[in-house]
Structure formats: structure tokens, C-alpha cells
Amino acid sequence: MANQSPLPGLFGALSDPTRFAVVEQLAGGPASVSELAAPHDMAGPSFLKHLNVLERAGLVTSVKVGRVRTVSLVPDALESIEAWVKAHRARWEHRLDRLGAFLAEDEKS
């Protein structure tokens, strides 16, 4: 049982407003570091840290060509989040159904 879920890490990466906004921007297509940084009134290095967090979390990849680094989304990451949420919401709703059934049953008595 050496297997820790990677999801808390993904969530952590998305828990910062700056990083969250970056992901939203990237959903519109890849962008350079400076394009991504532009909307955020923040010093370059501070912003870079955020990008590194996103990349270490696996939400984002990047390639550097010449002096420009182009960053893009990794769809698998979003997919795994979606799968997890879907599964747990489903379990929960199933439970609510059983509760509803129980209450209805109770009502009859």
C-alpha cells in the first residue's frame, strides 16, 4: 500500500487564485510565460514559482524554444479530477436515494 492519491496535490496546485487563473487562460490554448504573467500584477520570479508548482503537480507541461517557454495544459490531470468528483458525487447521491427510500418507507408505518 505505497499508493497515495495524487489528487490532493492537484487540488493544492489549483488552490491559489493566480494558478487557477493561469489554468483558465491555458484552457484557451498554450501560451508563453510572459503572456501568462501579463494579467497578474506580480514580479516575474514570483509568477515563475506558480508555474513551477503547476508543472510539478502535473497540470501543465512546457517546452522552451529559443528564449521563450511555451506552457500548455495536461488534459489527463483535469480528467482525473473529473473522474474522482464524479465517482464520489455518485456514491453520495446513491446514498441520498437510499435515505429517501428509507424515509418514504418510514412514512408508511
Partner DNA sequence: GAATTACATAGCCACATGGCTAATCAATCG
Partner DNA sequence: CGATTGATTAGCCATGTGGCTATGTAATTC
Residue from 17, 41, 105, 108 touching its own copies (CB under 8 A): that is 17
Q: Is 38 in the site for its own copies (CB under 8 A)?
A: no
Near its own copies in 72-91, by CB under 8 A: 73, 75, 78-79, 81-82, 85-86, 88-89, 91
For the window 37-56, what string marks contact with DNA as x by the rule CB under 7 A?
x---xxxxxxxxxxx-x---
Nearest residue (CB) to its own copies, 67 versus 92: 92
Cα angle 28-61-20, degrees, rounded to a multiple of 5: 55
Across the beta sheet with 31-32, the strand order is 31-32, 68-73, 60-65
Whole-number CA gyration radius for the chain: 20
Query: Ramachandran region of residue 29, left (φ > 0), alpha (ψ -120 to 50) or beta?
Result: left
Grid cell of 18 as nine digits? 493566480
Interface ranges with its own copies (CB under 8 A): 4-5, 7-9, 11-12, 14-17, 20, 23-24, 26-29, 73, 75, 78-79, 81-82, 85-86, 88-89, 91-93, 95-96
